[in-house]
Amino acid sequence: MVQSASQQDVLEIVGRSSLSGHVKIGGAKNAALVLMAGALLCPDVCRLRNVPNLADVTKMADILSTLGIRIQHHEDILDIDAREISTAQAPYELVSQLRASFFAIGPLLARYGVAEMPLPGGCAIGARPVDLHVRGLQSLGAEVTIESGVVHAAIPGGRRLQGAAIHFDYPSVGATETLMMAATLADGETTLHNAAQEPEVVDLANFCRAMGARITGAGTNTIRIVGVEKLHGVEYSVVPDRIEAGTFLLAGAITRSEVSLSPVVPEHLTAVIAKLREVGCTVVSDTPNSLRVLKADRLTGVDIQTQPYPGFPTDLQSPFMSLLSICEGSSVVEETVFENRLQHVAELQRMGANIRVKGHVAVIEGVPLLSGAPVEATDLRASAALAIAGLAADGTTILQISVTWIAAMTILSVRCRHLALALPVRP
Map out the domains of the chain as residue ranges: 8-26+240-418, 29-237
pLDDT band at 78 (very low <50, low <70, confident <90, very high): very high
- The set of catalytic residues is 123
pLDDT band at 414 (very low <50, low <70, confident <90, very high): low
Q: What distance in Å separates the CA atoms of residue 19 and residue 24, rounded to the nearest whole number?
A: 15
**Do the strands 222-226 and 235-237 form a parallel or antiparallel pair, or are they unpaired?**
unpaired
Average pLDDT over residues 392-403: 86
Q: What distance in Å separates the CA atoms of residue 414 and residue 138, rounded to the nearest whole number?
A: 46
**Model pLDDT, residue 9:** 79
CA angle, 418 then 61 then 40, to 5°: 125
Contact 26, 240 (CB under 8 A): yes
Q: Average per-residue pLDDT in the chain? A: 89
| Bridge partners (DSSP) listed for residue 333 | 304, 362
Is CATH 3.65.10.10 what the domain over 29-237 is classified as, yes or no? yes
pLDDT band at 412 (very low <50, low <70, confident <90, very high): low
Average pLDDT over residues 342-349: 92
Q: What distance in Å separates the CA atoms of residue 309 and residue 286, rounded to the nearest whole number?
A: 24
Q: What percent of the chain has pLDDT over 70?
A: 90
- Strands (E) located in 119-177: 143-147, 150-154, 165-167
Those residues whose C-beta lies under 8 Å from the C-beta of residue 340, and which sit 6 or more positions away, are: 124, 125, 126
CA distances from 131 to 137, 151, 198, 374, 418 (A): 10, 11, 20, 39, 44
pLDDT band at 343 (very low <50, low <70, confident <90, very high): confident
Q: Phi/psi of residue 304, each to 5°?
A: -135, 140
Question: How many residues does this entry show for the chain?
Answer: 427
Q: Which of 28-32, 145-149, 378-382 has the highest mean pLDDT?
A: 28-32
Q: What percent of the chain has pLDDT over 90?
A: 74
Note the CATH architecture for domain 8-26+240-418: Alpha-beta prism (3.65)
**Model pLDDT, residue 121:** 56
Two domains, one topology: 8-26+240-418 and 29-237: yes
Contact 82, 42 (CB under 8 A): yes
pLDDT higher than 80, residue 116 = yes
Q: Helix axis angle, 270-279 relative to 317-324, nearest 10°? A: 10
pLDDT band at 420 (very low <50, low <70, confident <90, very high): low
Q: What distance in Å separates the CA atoms of residue 112 and residue 176, rounded to the nearest whole number?
A: 20
Longest dimension (CA), the chain: 68
Q: Which amino acid is at 332?
A: V
